[in-house]
A and B are shown apart, each in its own frame.
Chain A
Amino acid sequence: MKEDVQVRIAGIAGDGSFITGEVLASILKKIGYYVVTVKDFPSNIRGLPSNYTVRGSSKPVYGRNDYDDFLIAFDIPSIKTHLRDLKEGSVCIYDSRDGKELSDDLKKEGVFYVPLPLREIARKELGLELIKNMVAVGVLSEIFGVDEEITDRVILENFKRKGEKVVELNKKAVLRGRELVRENHGRFPEFKLKKYNDPGRILAMGNDFVSMGAIAGGCRFLAAYPITPSSEILEFLSKEMKKFGGAAIQAEDEISSINMAIGASIAGLRAMVASSGPGVALKTEGLSYAGMTETPIVIYYAMRVGPSTGLPTKTSQEDLLYIIFAGHGEFPRLILMPATPDELFYLTVEAFNFAEEFQIPVIILTDQFLAQNKFTIDKEKIDPKKVEIRRGKIVLNGNDVPRNNGFLLRYKIEEDGISPRIIPGIKEGVFGTTGYEHDEAGYGTEDEDNRVSMVKKRMSKIKHLIKRVPPPVLYEKKNAKIGIISAGSTFGPIMETIERLEKDGISVSFLRIVTLWPFPEDEVRKFVEDKEKIFIVEQNYKGQLRFLVENAIIDIHKNKIRGITKFSGRPFKPLEIEEKIREELK
Chain B
Amino acid sequence: MSAHDHAADAHSVSGDHHEQDGWDFAHPMPVPMLLAVFIALVILTVITVAQASFDFGSYDVAIVMGIATVKAILVGLFFMHLLYDKLFNLAVFLSAFVFVGLFVILTVSDSRLTSKDFIPVDDAVVVSPTE
Q: Tell whether A pairs with B.
A: no
Which A residues have a C-beta under 8 Å from some C-beta of B?
Answer: none
**Residues of B with Cβ closer than 8 Å to A?**
none
